């Protein structure tokens, strides 16, 4: 049976405490779904039944309890209300674990109550989540297990476990013991704390856990301990397979299906659809109206592209659909029909124009390369939007792929390109942590080619490896001239898969005498879908010589949370599709917090790309993102415009006669 982390449903009435709780729980190892109506509740119940239902400030308390017990029979219920009067016994559900609490308490305390109730219910039931749910352990102020606790049979994985009267500290990673002791002291003073900690198994390997500490009175401290995603072999997939808002499969399930199809699964294409101007329109609607739009768009997609098509909502107003046994050009008429249906949603808007338009890009899957198809479809969407929106663009001739390949070839031959730099700044002080090196071709203010990594290897016939080598060489020249500079450099999949990588790149760094820690290699998630016996040694070799590796565009294309746990990664750069909607889309913000929480437990730093507004940056900073990159903080510019003049190399004094 497949293992999964506990699924918690939070039934809210809109923005407020409920939404804040959903965002806070996203930092915990649970799958959390926010619902606001009976239809969404029924979808959540059918996609994967929850193990706990949290009702937040319902207007009709009795009606909401009745609906919850009907839709989620036998599932424990936590009720949060602002009423000073407790429910009468007759109003409480029978035969169900039920607790009532006040809304007038900190979010951290509510999160503790959720985890504590899970520890008392699911860990005593014979379900896959029994060993994945939180467990409560009673400690004294020194971290010694209370005599009333016997952990035999419920410990997370085979190996040593603390017996009554033994200290838990000896099972922690040595570097984490001081941190754990400090949180013990804070808990004894009345604080509630949640933090990552690493626990050792009997082989000495460390496993990230999610820990919580709270004072329990009489010199005792309660510990909530729960595995994070990479506590293999116990933990399976992190999420369910359905978006509770639309009922569509979620992005992880879609990418998993893409990975499983392979190259011999027959013809297929990818459709990328995005609501035009959704960001500005969404600011005029409340959350319930936005949710209704998502639901109606999802219904239109499934109506036009029924099974076996597999649509998924990526983020905000963006949808991705895998369509098998079909070619892109044959779908143009149906895609135009989808646009017509979307146009009817919401009627007329500002200045009597259509309230919602949609841009659609479609790309064929060639040789099983789904990631390439997603990138081409996304490029086609951008071109459709630039052309005015409300139209369909088929990747291929319409996206000028062949012309762009020719442009790349001629610009490389003529050496008519420059290396521009874009700052990646710290969230703490707004100062650059490093700069990303980006190629700019030609002299136009907006060159045609800025990144060629969405081309197939066959189209470029070795050009990408040459291109990457040229970019790295110029980057090393800049690093040599500016001793305080640190750069990230993109490496394409073609280069990553060559036999000469990474030794050729390491040799270039060594010959330049640049400190390897000043170089960050950025790779796309598709590099990690190559055979593991090819990927792991390359990444390990880079780490061994001190060159950090970052996953670029995480959340776009084919990517997996497994990539964060299976490989030595130093940094994750969250894609525009992930970061653009955190201010308007609670589910998207939950996703960000989940990724950031996992990265923190693994010691991985996070970067929010495409940061465009102060509000967006503040939300991402609150969720724990370390660094920021985007229009708000600085556009790509020539090095001469942002770096101080390079100091000429010192020449040794001439010898005197």
10-residue averages of pLDDT along the chain (657 residues): 71 78 76 80 79 92 94 94 89 91 91 91 56 80 79 60 83 86 88 84 77 88 77 33 69 78 79 80 66 83 86 83 88 92 66 69 86 82 86 70 56 71 92 91 50 47 79 94 94 88 94 95 88 91 95 78 83 85 64 79 88 86 90 90 72 44
> Which fold is adopted by the domain 7-227?
Beta-Lactamase (3.30.450)
Strands (E), 115-184: 135-140
User: What gap in Å lies between CA 597 and CA 576, rounded to an integer?
Assistant: 19
- Written as six digits, the tokens of 458 are 């066959």
User: In Å, what is the CA distance from 202 to each residue of 199, 449, 645?
Assistant: 10, 53, 56
Tell me what pLDDT residue 20 has.
76
CA distances from 457 to 81, 367, 371, 492, 496 (A): 59, 11, 13, 10, 12
User: Which run of H or E residues covers position 651?
Assistant: none
* CA 89 vs CA 53, 92, 98, 117, 218: distances in Å: 19, 5, 11, 20, 31
Helix (H, G, I), strand (E, B) or coil at 382: helix
Measure Cα distances from 137 to 116, 134, 381 in Å: 10, 10, 52
Tally Cβ neighbours within 10 Å of residue 367.
Answer: 11
pTM surpassing 0.75? no
Q: Can you tell me the distance from the alpha carbon of 472 to that of 494, in angstroms, rounded to the nearest whole number?
A: 15
Residue 504: name the closest of 483, 476, 529, 480 by CA: 476
Q: Output the CA torsion 303→309→314→316 (10° steps).
A: -10
Extract the tokens encoding 448: 């045609």
Nearest by Cα to 527 from 467, 500, 567: 567
Q: Tell me the two tokens of residue 535.
A: 């990927």
Measured torsion, CA atoms of residues 40, 41, 46, 50, in degrees rounded to the nearest 10: 130
Query: Closest Cα to residue 196, out of 159, 231, 225?
Result: 225
Q: What is the pLDDT of residue 303?
A: 86
Return the structure tokens found at 59: 């207007």
> What residues are paired with 417 via a beta bridge?
441
Dist CA 406 CA 376 (whole Å): 17
Tell me how far apart the alpha carbons of residues 632 and 630 are, in angstroms, rounded to a whole number. 6
Coil/strand/helix, residue 171 = helix
Ordered DSSP codes for 106-132: -HHHHHHHHHHHHHHHGGGSSSGGGGT
Q: What pLDDT, on the 0 to 100 scale, is given for residue 243? A: 67
Cite the DSSP H helix spans in 283-369.
287-304, 332-343
Q: Which fold is adopted by the domain 403-642?
A: TIM Barrel (3.20.20)
CB within 8 A of 51, min separation 6: which ones? 6, 7, 8, 75, 76, 118, 121, 122, 127, 129, 133
Where on the phi/psi map is residue 368: left (φ > 0), alpha (ψ -120 to 50), or beta?
Answer: left
Q: Quote the CATH superfamily of domain 251-397.
A: Reverse transcriptase/Diguanylate cyclase domain (3.30.70.270)
**Domain range list for the chain:** 7-227, 251-397, 403-642
Q: Are 210 and 601 in contact (CB under 8 A)?
A: yes
Rounded Cα distance between 278 and 357, Å, is: 9
């Amino acid at each position: 049976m497949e293992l999964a982390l506990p699924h918690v449903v939070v039934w809210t009435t809109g923005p407020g405490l409920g939404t804040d709780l959903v965002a806070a729980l996203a930092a915990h190892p649970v799958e959390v779904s926010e619902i606001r109506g009976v239809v969404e509740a029924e979808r959540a119940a059918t996609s994967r039944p929850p193990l706990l239902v949290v009702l937040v400030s319902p207007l009709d308390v009795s009606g909401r309890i009745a609906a919850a017990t009907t839709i989620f029979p036998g599932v424990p219920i936590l009720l949060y209300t602002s009423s000073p009067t407790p429910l009468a016994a007759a109003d409480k559900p029978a035969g169900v674990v039920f607790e009532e609490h006040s809304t007038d308490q900190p979010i951290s305390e509510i999160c503790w109550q959720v985890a504590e109730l899970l520890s008392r219910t699911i860990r005593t039931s014979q379900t896959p989540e029994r060993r994945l749910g939180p467990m409560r352990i009673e400690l004294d102020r020194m971290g010694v297990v209370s005599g009333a606790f016997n952990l035999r049979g419920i410990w997370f994985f085979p190996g040593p476990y603390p017996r009554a009267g033994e200290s838990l500290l000896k099972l922690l990673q040595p570097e984490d013991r001081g941190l754990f002791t400090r949180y013990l002291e804070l808990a004894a003073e009345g604080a509630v704390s949640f933090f990552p900690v690493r626990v050792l198994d009997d082989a000495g390997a460390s496993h990230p856990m999610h820990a919580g500490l709270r004072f329990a009175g009489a010199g005792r401290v309660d510990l909530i301990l729960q595995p994070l995603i990479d506590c293999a072999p116990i933990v399976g997939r992190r999420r369910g397979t359905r978006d509770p808002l639309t009922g569509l499969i979620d992005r992880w399930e879609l990418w998993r299906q893409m990975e499983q199809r392979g190259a011999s699964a027959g013809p297929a294409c990818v459709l990328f659809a995005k609501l035009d101007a959704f960001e500005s329109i969404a600011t005029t609607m409340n959350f319930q109206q936005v949710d209704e739009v998502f639901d109606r768009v999802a219904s239109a997609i499934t109506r036009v592209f029924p099974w076996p098509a597999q649509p998924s909502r990526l983020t905000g107003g963006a949808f991705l659909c895998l369509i098998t046994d079909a070619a892109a050009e044959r779908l143009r008429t149906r895609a135009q029909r989808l646009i017509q249906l979307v146009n009817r949603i919401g009627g007329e808007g500002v200045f009597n124009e259509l309230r919602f338009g949609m841009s659609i890009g479609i790309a064929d899957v060639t040789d099983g390369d789904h990631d390439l198809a997603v990138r081409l479809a996304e490029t086609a969407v951008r071109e459709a939007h630039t052309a005015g929106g409300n139209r369909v663009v088929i990747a291929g001739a319409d996206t000028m792929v062949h012309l762009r390949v020719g442009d790349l070839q001629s610009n490389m031959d003529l050496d008519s390109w420059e290396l521009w730099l874009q700052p990646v700044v710290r969230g703490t002080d707004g100062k650059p942590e490093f700069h990303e090196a980006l190629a700019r071709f030609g002299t136009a203010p907006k060159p045609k080619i800025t990144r060629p990594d969405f081309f197939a290897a066959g189209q470029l016939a070795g050009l990408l490896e040459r291109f990457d080598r040229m970019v790295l060489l110029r980057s090393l020249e800049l690093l040599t001239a500016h001793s305080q500079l640190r750069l990230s450099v993109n490496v394409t999949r073609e280069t990553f898969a060559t036999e000469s990588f990474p030794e050729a790149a390491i040799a270039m760094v060594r010959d330049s005498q640049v400190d390897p820690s000043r170089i960050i290699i950025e790779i796309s998630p598709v590099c990690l879908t190559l055979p593991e016996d090819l990927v792991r040694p390359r990444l390990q070799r880079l780490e061994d010589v001190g060159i950090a590796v970052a996953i670029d565009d995480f959340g776009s294309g084919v990517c997996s949370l497994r990539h964060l746990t299976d490989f030595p990664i130093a940094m994750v750069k969250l894609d525009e599709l992930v970061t653009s909607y955190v201010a308007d889309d609670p589910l998207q913000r939950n996703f960000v917090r989940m990724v950031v929480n996992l990265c923190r437990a693994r010691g991985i730093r996070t970067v929010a790309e495409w940061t465009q507004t102060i509000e967006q940056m503040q939300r991402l900073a609150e969720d724990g993102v370390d660094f920021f990159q985007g229009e708000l903080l600085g556009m790509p510019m020539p090095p001469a415009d942002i770096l101080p003049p390079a100091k000429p190399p010192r020449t040794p004094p001439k010898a005197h006669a």
